[in-house]
């Protein structure tokens, strides 16, 4: 397989490092083009790899013709979009023009309802992307949408739970948190894309319920949730995230799930900072005039804040990403949390990148291997082309590959008070 990775920030670099580590002998990975608007940045990532399969190129992610031309010149099979989601539209068009597969880790952006944004949806996350499914079907290619960690791994876990662990599903709730900290540091820090974090934390949050998606205040309905592997209890609240949409979009594959939520543990200080950003409009992506130039306030924050990948290397601790599922099995109520916990020090040592971006980059590489080896889309009922989320595919091969990628998952049987009822073990064993 030949791959074009557009965007060589933390996730793009992590993806390359994980791919090299997973397939050092080129059993399925033939060539990877690391492309960025900043050629020096792409070249730096390539130099760290010290592998002739990886090459650097300059490209403007906002120019679909330029990206498509590079894809054709390099003869790639897939364009991997590791840019901020505002670049999804041009990169989706680039894949269609080049007639290759496409993959991203976040879907196209939402637009708030014009008159009632805290109760009603306007343009939903992914609406513009799902609309392109017929065009990808025409060229016989996939657009693999939301194939990161959250969304991505969490959605594969939702499908795995539906296929193996439940007869009925009442709720699927993505729950994310950590005990990460920078010793001695004060104030907030961004562990992921500054631009994307501000987007999802300041937009109205979303909930799927009774067959419809509706909005709710960001960080609403705070609750305590217990996370495994020594992280412990955290406080989580609603945030806008693709999993809610993706679960709703694939509800028929998930035992007709009745409710979907995404709740994230951010901490009081971070939530207060986001509220301040909203109150003075510096969270906005629309450009305003400052002196003689037009600038987006959010871009200023992103430029001024420390690079999340570099400052993230100073973190101490772990982060958990996972899927909380409530339903019934054999007539009895069941609650499980399927998760993956990663340690920051370990990720920095293995991949040279911090834990949050390494976690995000893991699923795209698994998806590439599954696609290259013919496993993705090979099971009965799997789609053969078009725009699809992880829930659309049988998750067994994905789960089986997790230990080989050194990102093993775990599963907790949870009591009502969120206490550990079962020791960590491989997900695949739990299906037996």
Q: Which two tokens stand for residue 20?
A: 């090299």
What angle (nearest 5°) sits at the alpha carbon of residue 158, between those of residues 153 and 163?
Answer: 125
- Which conformational region is residue 232 in: left (phi greater than 0), alpha (psi within -120 to 50 degrees), or beta? left
How confident is the model at residue 341, as a pLDDT? 92
Distance, CA of 349 to CA of 82 (rounded, Å) = 22
Q: Which two tokens stand for residue 136?
A: 């990808």
How confident is the model at residue 419, as a pLDDT? 36
Quickly list H helices, 165-223. 194-202
How confident is the model at residue 431, as a pLDDT? 41
With CA atoms as reference, report the closest residue to 215 among 197, 190, 240.
240
How confident is the model at residue 304, as a pLDDT? 86
Listed in sequence order, the residues at least 6 apart from 375 whose beta carbon sits closer than 8 Å to its beta carbon are 369, 397
How confident is the model at residue 412, as a pLDDT? 78
List strand residue ranges (DSSP E) for 217-309, in order.
Answer: 223-227, 232-238, 259-264, 288-290, 293-295
Distance, CA of 368 to CA of 163 (rounded, Å) = 23
How confident is the model at residue 195, as a pLDDT? 76
pTM assigned to the model: 0.92
Q: What are phi and psi of 365, to 5 degrees?
A: -70, -40
Q: Are 173 and 260 in contact (CB under 8 A)?
A: yes
How confident is the model at residue 429, as a pLDDT? 52
Give pLDDT < 50 ranges for the chain: 416-426, 428, 430-432
Listed in sequence order, the residues at least 6 apart from 35 whose beta carbon sits closer than 8 Å to its beta carbon are 4, 5, 6, 7, 8, 42, 56, 57, 58, 59, 67, 70
Q: Where in the chain is the domain with CATH 3.30.360.10?
A: 153-352+406-430
How confident is the model at residue 414, as a pLDDT? 67
Q: Where in the chain is the domain with CATH 3.40.50.720?
A: 2-104
Domain 2-104: CATH superfamily is NAD(P)-binding Rossmann-like Domain (3.40.50.720)
Q: Which fold has domain 153-352+406-430?
A: Dihydrodipicolinate Reductase; domain 2 (3.30.360)
How confident is the model at residue 415, as a pLDDT? 54
């Amino acid at each position: 397989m030949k791959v074009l990775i557009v965007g060589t920030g933390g996730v793009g670099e992590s993806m390359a490092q994980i791919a090299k580590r997973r397939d050092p002998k080129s059993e399925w990975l033939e060539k990877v083009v690391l492309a960025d608007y900043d050629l020096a940045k792409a070249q730096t990532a390539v130099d760290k790899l010290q592998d002739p399969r990886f090459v650097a190129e300059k490209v403007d992610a906002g120019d679909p013709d330029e990206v498509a031309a590079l894809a054709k010149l390099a003869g790639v099979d897939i364009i991997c979009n590791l840019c901020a989601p505002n670049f999804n539209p041009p990169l989706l068009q680039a894949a269609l023009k080049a007639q290759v597969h496409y993959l991203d880790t976040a879907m196209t952006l939402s637009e708030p309802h014009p008159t009632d944004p805290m109760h009603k949806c306007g343009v939903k996350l992914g609406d513009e992307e799902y609309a392109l499914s017929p065009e990808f079907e025409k060229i016989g290619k996939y657009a693999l949408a939301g194939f990161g960690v959250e969304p991505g791994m969490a959605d594969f876990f939702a499908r795995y739970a539906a296929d193996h662990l439940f007869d009925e599903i009442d709720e699927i709730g993505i729950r994310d948190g950590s005990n990460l900290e920078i010793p001695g540091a004060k104030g907030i820090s961004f562990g992921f894309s500054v631009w994307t974090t501000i987007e999802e934390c300041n937009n109205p949050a979303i909930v799927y319920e009774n067959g419809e998606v509706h909005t709710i205040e960001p960080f609403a309905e705070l609750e305590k949730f217990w996370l495994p592997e020594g992280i412990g209890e955290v406080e989580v609240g609603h945030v806008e995230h693709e999993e809610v949409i993706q679960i709703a979009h694939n509800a028929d594959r998930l035992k007709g799930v009745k409710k979907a939520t995404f709740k994230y543990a951010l901490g009081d200080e971070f939530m207060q900072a986001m509220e301040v950003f909203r109150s003075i409009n510096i969270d906005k992506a629309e450009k305003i005039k400052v002196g003689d130039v037009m600038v987006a306030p959010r871009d200023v924050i992103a430029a001024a804040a420390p690079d999340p990948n570099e400052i993230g290397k100073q973190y101490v601790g772990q982060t958990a990403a996972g899927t909380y599922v409530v339903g019934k099995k054999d007539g009895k109520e069941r609650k499980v949390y399927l998760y993956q916990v990663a340690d920051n020090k370990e990720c920095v040592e293995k991949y040279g990148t911090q834990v949050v971006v390494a976690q995000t980059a893991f699923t795209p590489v698994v998806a590439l291997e599954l696609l290259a080896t013919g496993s993705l889309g090979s099971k009965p009922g799997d789609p053969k082309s078009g725009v699809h989320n992880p829930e659309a595919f049988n998750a067994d091969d994905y789960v089986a590959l997790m230990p080989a990628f050194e990102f093993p998952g775990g599963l907790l049987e949870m009591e009502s008070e969120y206490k550990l009822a079962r020791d960590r073990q491989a997900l695949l064993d739990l299906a037996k």
